Amino acid sequence: MDTMNKENWISEIENVSDRIASTKVPADVLQRIKAIPFTVEKKLETLPMRTVWMVAASIAVLIAVNVFVFSSTNYSSASDDITETYFKHTQRL
């Protein structure tokens, strides 16, 4: 009798998927889910070209200023000045 209950229990567990009913997705929710990729593309395309050109011009100006400052700076004298002012207190000794 014990094996009969065990086999009955096993068959009930195996057939549990037959008793589970899947839910139906509403049509409007399904349509909104399918429309997500198109809304993302539209948001990416709305960046104005004027903004893109302004960012590019700002980057170009920043690079030009950096190149100008780098080319006009004399690093060897600057490091000597820093060294002299840092060790100025030792000249008294």
Q: Which two tokens stand for residue 82?
A: 């820093």
Could you list the mean pLDDT of each consecutive 10-residue stretch along the chain, which spans 93 residues? 78 80 83 78 71 95 93 64 68 63
Q: How far apart are CA 89 and CA 5, in angstroms?
A: 97
Q: How far apart are CA 42 and CA 35, in angstroms?
A: 11
Q: Please count the CA atoms within 13 angstroms of the CA of 34 that sit on its side-chain side.
A: 7
Q: Could you tell me which residues come within 8 angstroms of residue 88 by beta carbon, excluding any fewer than 6 positions away?
A: none
Residue 73 placed within a domain: yes
What's the pLDDT at 81? Answer: 63
What's the pLDDT at 92? Answer: 64
Domain count, the chain: 1
What's the pLDDT at 75? Answer: 61
Q: Structure pTM?
A: 0.36
| Domain region containing 64 | 48-93
Residue 3 placed within a domain: no
Residue whose entry in the numeric block shows the structure tokens 């997705």? 25
Residue 66 placed within a domain: yes
